[in-house]
Amino acid sequence: MKRKLFNKILVANRGEIAIRVMRACRELGIPTAAVYSDADRNAIHVRYADEAHHIGGAPPTESYLQLDRIVKVAHDCGADAIHPGYGFLSEKPAFPEACEAAGIRFIGPPASAMRALSSKLAARKLAADNGVPVTPGSGAVDPAAAVAAAKAIGFPVMVKPSGGGGGIGMKVVEAEHELVAAIESSAQAARSAFGDPTVYIESYIRKPRHIEIQVICDSHGNAVHLGERECSIQRRHQKIMEETPSPAVTAGIRAAMGEAAIRAATAAGYVNAGTVEFIFNDGNFYFLEVNARLQVEHPITETVTGIDIVKEQIRIAAGHELSFKQDDVTWTGHAIEMRINAEDPVRKFLPNPKRITRWVASAGPGVRVDSGFGPGSEVPPNYDSLLAKLIVHGSDRAEAIARAGRALQEFVVVGPATTISYHRAILENSDFRSGNLSTRFIEDHPDLVENAKKMASDTSPFDYGPDPRHVAAAAAAVAAVVSK
């Protein structure tokens, strides 16, 4: 007899990830409950769920970060599990603890694993103690201790806050005379952003790749990896495009990184889906951190493996064993994800929240679009600017790139400025096409903005506006008549 999953799952998030989780629930026959803020009252995820509950004002601190309020809503509506999505409360150890106290299952890792991995310093030590390579680095440092540590490591070094991510507070230091100011600045930023001024230093690799490994662990001692994702295309330490497999990772390196990722996760007592991140340079990989949640870019892994990661999360949270073994995992073809953001590339990626007046999502063979927006949607200024994730799959990297270009050219978003043309410019770049990537790819290619500007004038054949060819022909005819 199969063990029952859940009676109802509350999704403690919004937008595309809320809908993504609800789709998995619907296929599993599990009713869902949505939560929403004032800004999301008319959002698609609210209509998609079987029921929806208002939790507060537009600012996240008044709604999606209201832990106790969310848990109470789940309890009152009869939800016996909560999926946190990503962002907001997804990596807060207090969330699974509050769920457990209320008799609700948290679909994610246990609080103990989150705590073991939330400090980058503690996570580095855990990784090193379990045979996972780490870059040369220090423990917690103050300005006085930092100089000696940096000399021992060798310049350049990177100053990093221990308690947070997203690139906040990170500083590259090229020489000794820059170090004290960088330590003080980083500690101040860390205190403001994370409430923890602890910083450390590590060797700075100038042009590494950012490679991550998807792992899934159950509560029965089984752990597998689903291969790597290349996440080197970043802007201000934020990923904007990902692909799998990486152009630089061989089958042997994949196996070694996968084994290392599993060691790091299991050492922390990890259960459910998570991602172990590495920097990769000249064939060598070094532990970076663990993201104790579902990743934004998980769909490309699903695409090449055929494994529904969200469904697996739900089954594991319900006490089931993993439905597959490591030997069952295979990778077919190549997948690319492009994060379509409501940002203006020409104006230094300034967020551009506006009402969407026209929207036609890409379609056709090998194309998937995950989004929480559509025609008439308001893009609120209160949250992340992500509009959609455009995922393409091809038989190889060349076909995936061609398919991505075609899909981007079809995508219509009118209202807010978007990054669609910028992604097209990346795909046309010769270094990208040859797989010559690093985390400095954006900085090394300032011409991408100008190329994106040229491409922005292209009109999709699915645009409901006037055909520009007809407009041009009519204008030429009028000009000919006037000239006579």
Active site residues: 293
Residues 460 and 466: their CA atoms lie apart, in Å, by 11
> Are 201 and 146 in contact, with CB atoms under 8 Å apart?
yes
Q: Are 320 and 309 in contact (CB under 8 A)?
A: no
Please check whether residue 229 is in contact with residue 237, taking contact to mean a CB–CB distance below 8 angstroms. no
Q: How far apart are CA 54 and CA 70, in angstroms?
A: 10
Distance separating alpha carbons of residues 426 and 241, to the nearest angstrom: 9
Q: What residue spans of 119-250 are helical by DSSP H?
A: 120-129, 143-153, 179-194
Can you tell me the distance from the alpha carbon of 211 to that of 209, in angstroms, rounded to the nearest whole number?
6
CA distance 72 to 89: 15
Q: Which residues pair with 39 in a beta bridge?
A: none
Distance CA 404, CA 389 (A): 12
Residue 346 burial by Cβ neighbours in a 10 Å radius (0-12, 13-18, 19+): middle
Q: Which long-range contacts (CB under 8 A, 24 or more apart) does 25-33 make?
A: 25/314, 27/311, 28/311, 28/314, 30/5, 30/6, 30/314, 31/7, 32/8, 33/8, 33/9, 33/73, 33/74, 33/77, 33/79
Dihedral angle computed from the Cα positions of residues 261, 207, 428 and 430, in that order, rounded to the nearest 10 degrees: -120
3-state class (DSSP) for residue 345 = helix
